[in-house]
Every structure is written in structure tokens, then in C-alpha cells.
């Protein structure tokens, strides 16, 4: 009887060990997901930019010889970016609040930030 219990205990210890390895692996997978989702936001922002913004702001975030600002050099201020994109500016920059979701605008910010000039 005693022997049976100790077998069970050993099995239990083994199960706990397997579980903690699995949990550690899951933790690493989570970290990878975070990294990938930042890249996914940038990629998504890039395609939204190409379809909605590039004809004014230029394919590479700037359009020299026009009134559009170089988006690689705008202030590092997400609130200002989101407000400008939602509401537009000076009747020259069109408002996007009815067209783009908060997520899409957040992804645009991720894309623009990733191309910031040092």
C-alpha cells in the first residue's frame, strides 16, 4: 500500500514538472505573440496608409513640393496624431473619423512611428 502511494506521489511530481515546463513554454509563446502583433499592426497600418494616405502624403511618408508635412518628422505624439487623423486639419487634411476605426488609426500610428527619422 505504501508503495502504491509513493508511486502516485511520483506520478504527481512528474505531472507538476510537465505542467510547469508547459507553462514556461506558453509564457514564451505569449512574448512572441506580442512581438508579432506589433509587426502585424505596422503591416496593417502600412496597407491602410497605401490606400488612404499615400496619394497626398507620398508613398514614403513625404511628398516634397506639396503642402503635406513629412510624416517621418511629425511630433512623437500619438494623441495629436489620432486627433488630426480623426478630425482633419485646416480643411486641407481630410477627417477620417467616419471611415477608419480606432484600431486602424492606431495601426497607422504604429506604421508611421516605425518610419520615424532619427
Nearest residue to 66 (alpha-carbon basis) of 29, 47, 92 = 92
Distance separating alpha carbons of residues 94 and 54, to the nearest angstrom: 13
The CB-of-83 to ligand HEC minimum distance in angstroms stands at 9
For residue 53, what is the DSSP state? T
- Least distance in angstroms from the C-beta of 58 to ligand HEC: 10
List 25's β-bridge partners, or say none: none
Whole-number Å distance between alpha carbons of 31 and 23: 13
Residues forming contacts to ligand HEC in the complex (CB under 6 A) are 52-53, 56-57, 67-69, 71, 74, 80-81, 84-85, 89-90, 92-94, 96, 108
Nearer to ligand HEC, 23 or 98 (CB): 98
Q: Provide the minimum distance between the beta carbon of 103 and ligand HEC in the complex, in angstroms, as a whole number.
A: 13
Amino acid at each position: 500500500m505504501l508503495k502504491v502511494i509513493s508511486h502516485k506521489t511520483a506520478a504527481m511530481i512528474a505531472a507538476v514538472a510537465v505542467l510547469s515546463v508547459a507553462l514556461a513554454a506558453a509564457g514564451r509563446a505569449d512574448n512572441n505573440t506580442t512581438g508579432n502583433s506589433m509587426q502585424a499592426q505596422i503591416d496593417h497600418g502600412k496597407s491602410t496608409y497605401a490606400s488612404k494616405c499615400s496619394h497626398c502624403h507620398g508613398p514614403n511618408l513625404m511628398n516634397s513640393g506639396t503642402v503635406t508635412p513629412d510624416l517621418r518628422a511629425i511630433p512623437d505624439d500619438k494623441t495629436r496624431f489620432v486627433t488630426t487623423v480623426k478630425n482633419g486639419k485646416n480643411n486641407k487634411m481630410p477627417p477620417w473619423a467616419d471611415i477608419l476605426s480606432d484600431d486602424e488609426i492606431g495601426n497607422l500610428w504604429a506604421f508611421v512611428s516605425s518610419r520615424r527619422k532619427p
